[in-house]
A and B are shown apart, each in its own frame.
Chain A
Amino acid sequence: MPFLTLSNLTKSFGEFTAVKDMTLSIEKGEFISLLGPSGCGKTTTLQMIAGLLEPSAGRILLDGKDITKTPPNKRGLGIVFQSYALFPHMTALENVAFGLEMRGVGKAERVERAHKALQQVKLDQFTHRFPKEMSGGQRQRVALARALVIEPPVLLLDEPLSNLDAKLREDMRIELRLLQQDIGVTTILVTHDQEEALSMSDRIVVMKDGDIAQIAAPLDLYERPANTFVSDFVGKTNLISGTTTGPDSVTVDEEDLSLPGHGQPTGQTVTLSIRPEKFHLSSDQTGHEVQVRAAIFLGSSWLYRVESSMGDLFVTQPNTGMPGFGRGDKARISWPEGAMTLFSEAA
Chain B
Amino acid sequence: MSSSSKTPYLMTGPGVLFFAALLGVPMLLTFLLSLHAYDFNTGVVPGWTLTNYVDVLGDSYFHKIFGRTFGLALLVTVICALIGAPEAYILSRLSNPWRSIFLLVVLGPLLISVVVRTLGWALFFGGKGVLTMVAQGLGFTDAPVSLMFTFTGMTIALVHVLVPFMVISVWASLQKIDPQSEDAALTLGASKFTVLRRITLPQAMPGILSGSIIVFALTASAFATPAIIGGRRMKVVATAAYDEYLSTLNWPLGATIAVLLLFANIVIIVSYNKLVERRFSKVFE
Residues on A facing B (Cβ under 8 Å): 50-52, 71-79, 81-83, 85-89, 98-99, 102-103, 130, 132-133, 146, 150
Residues 174 to 225 of chain B near chain A (Cβ within 8 Å): 178, 180-181, 183-191, 194, 198-199, 202-203, 205
A87 touches B185 (CB 8 A): yes
A selection of 6 A-B contacts at a CB cut-off of 8 Å is A73-B188, A78-B187, A88-B283, A99-B188, A146-B184, A150-B188
State which of B181, B184, B283 has its C-beta within 8 Å of the C-beta of A132.
B283
Q: How far is the CA of A130 from the CA of B185 in the complex (A)?
A: 17
Q: How far is the CA of A30 from the CA of B65 in the complex (A)?
A: 73
Taking CB atoms, residues of chain A closer than 8 Å to B181 are: 85-88
Residues 118 to 171 of chain B near chain A (Cβ within 8 Å): none
Contacts A72-B187, A89-B205 given; 10 further ones with Cβ under 8 A?
A73-B191, A75-B187, A78-B187, A81-B180, A81-B183, A85-B184, A89-B203, A98-B185, A132-B284, A133-B282
State which of B189, B202, B205 has its C-beta within 8 Å of the C-beta of A102.
B189
A51 touches B185 (CB 8 A): no
B59 on the interface (CB 8 Å rule)? no
B39 on the interface (CB 8 Å rule)? no
B183 touches A130 (CB 8 A): no
Taking CB atoms, residues of chain A closer than 8 Å to B199 are: 87
Closest A-chain residue to B179, C-beta based? A85
State which of A52, A88, A102, A132 has its C-beta within 8 Å of the C-beta of B188.
A102
Taking CB atoms, residues of chain B closer than 8 Å to A79 are: 183-184, 187
State which of A89, A132, A146 has its C-beta within 8 Å of the C-beta of B285.
A132
Q: How far is the CA of A130 from the CA of B188 in the complex (A)?
A: 19
Q: Give the total of B residues in contact with A, Cβ under 8 Å.
A: 22
Taking CB atoms, residues of chain A closer than 8 Å to B282 are: 130, 132-133
Q: How far is the CA of A82 from the CA of B188 in the complex (A)?
A: 16
Q: How far is the CA of A88 from the CA of B203 in the complex (A)?
A: 8
Q: Which of B181, B187, B199 has the most CB of A within 10 A?
A: B187
Closest B-chain residue to A50, C-beta based? B187
Closest A-chain residue to B177, C-beta based? A88
The verdict on A103 contacting B183 (CB below 8 Å), with A88-B283, A130-B283, A132-B283 known, is no
**B interface, by DSSP: helix, strand, loop or mixed?**
helix
B178 touches A150 (CB 8 A): no
Taking CB atoms, residues of chain B closer than 8 Å to A52 are: 183, 186-187
A73 touches B183 (CB 8 A): no
B285 touches A72 (CB 8 A): no
Q: How far is the CA of A83 from the CA of B285 in the complex (A)?
A: 16
Taking CB atoms, residues of chain B closer than 8 Å to A72 are: 183, 186-187
- State how many angstroms separate the Cβ of B40 from the closest Cβ of chain A: 59
Q: How far is the CA of A71 from the CA of B192 in the complex (A)?
A: 11
Q: How far is the CA of A87 from the CA of B203 in the complex (A)?
A: 8
Taking CB atoms, residues of chain A closer than 8 Å to B194 are: 102
Closest A-chain residue to B199, C-beta based? A87
Taking CB atoms, residues of chain B closer than 8 Å to A132 are: 282-285
Q: How far is the CA of A71 from the CA of B184 in the complex (A)?
A: 13
Taking CB atoms, residues of chain B closer than 8 Å to A87 are: 181, 184-185, 199, 202-203
- State how many angstroms separate the Cβ of B182 from the closest Cβ of chain A: 8
Taking CB atoms, residues of chain B closer than 8 Å to A83 are: 178, 180
Q: How far is the CA of A130 from the CA of B194 in the complex (A)?
A: 21
Q: How far is the CA of A85 from the CA of B285 in the complex (A)?
A: 15
- State how many angstroms separate the Cβ of A288 from the closest Cβ of chain B: 52
Taking CB atoms, residues of chain A closer than 8 Å to B284 are: 88-89, 132
Taking CB atoms, residues of chain A closer than 8 Å to B202 are: 87, 89
Closest A-chain residue to B176, C-beta based? A88
Closest A-chain residue to B183, C-beta based? A52
State which of A73, A77, A85, A102 has its C-beta within 8 Å of the C-beta of B178.
A85
- State how many angstroms separate the Cβ of A187 from the closest Cβ of chain B: 15
A102 touches B190 (CB 8 A): yes
State which of B186, B198, B205, B285 has its C-beta within 8 Å of the C-beta of A73.
B186
State which of B178, B183, B189 has its C-beta within 8 Å of the C-beta of A76.
B189
A103 touches B189 (CB 8 A): yes
Ranked nearest first, the 7 interchain pairs of A and B with the lowest CB-CB distance are A102-B189, A99-B188, A85-B180, A85-B184, A89-B202, A85-B181, A81-B180
Q: How far is the CA of A53 from the CA of B20 in the complex (A)?
A: 58
Closest A-chain residue to B180, C-beta based? A85
- State how many angstroms separate the Cβ of A159 from the closest Cβ of chain B: 12
Closest A-chain residue to B188, C-beta based? A99
Closest A-chain residue to B282, C-beta based? A130
Taking CB atoms, residues of chain A closer than 8 Å to B188 are: 73, 98-99, 102, 146, 150
Q: How far is the CA of A79 from the CA of B202 in the complex (A)?
A: 22
Taking CB atoms, residues of chain A closer than 8 Å to B183 are: 50, 52, 72, 79, 81, 85
Q: Which of A52, A83, A87 has the most CB of B within 10 A?
A: A87
Q: How far is the CA of A52 from the CA of B179 in the complex (A)?
A: 12
Taking CB atoms, residues of chain A closer than 8 Å to B186 are: 52, 71-73
Closest A-chain residue to B201, C-beta based? A89
Taking CB atoms, residues of chain A closer than 8 Å to B285 are: 132
Q: Which of A76, A77, A86, A98 has the most CB of B within 10 A?
A: A98
Q: How far is the CA of A50 from the CA of B203 in the complex (A)?
A: 24
Q: Which of B186, B188, B198 has the most CB of A within 10 A?
A: B188
Closest A-chain residue to B189, C-beta based? A102
- State how many angstroms separate the Cβ of A185 from the closest Cβ of chain B: 15
Taking CB atoms, residues of chain A closer than 8 Å to B191 are: 73
Taking CB atoms, residues of chain A closer than 8 Å to B205 are: 89
Taking CB atoms, residues of chain B closer than 8 Å to A150 are: 188-189
Q: Which of A83, A102, A130, A132 has the most CB of B within 10 A?
A: A102
- State how many angstroms separate the Cβ of A214 from the closest Cβ of chain B: 29
Taking CB atoms, residues of chain B closer than 8 Å to A74 are: 189
Q: How far is the CA of A212 from the CA of B180 in the complex (A)?
A: 26
Residues 258 to 285 of chain B near chain A (Cβ within 8 Å): 282-285
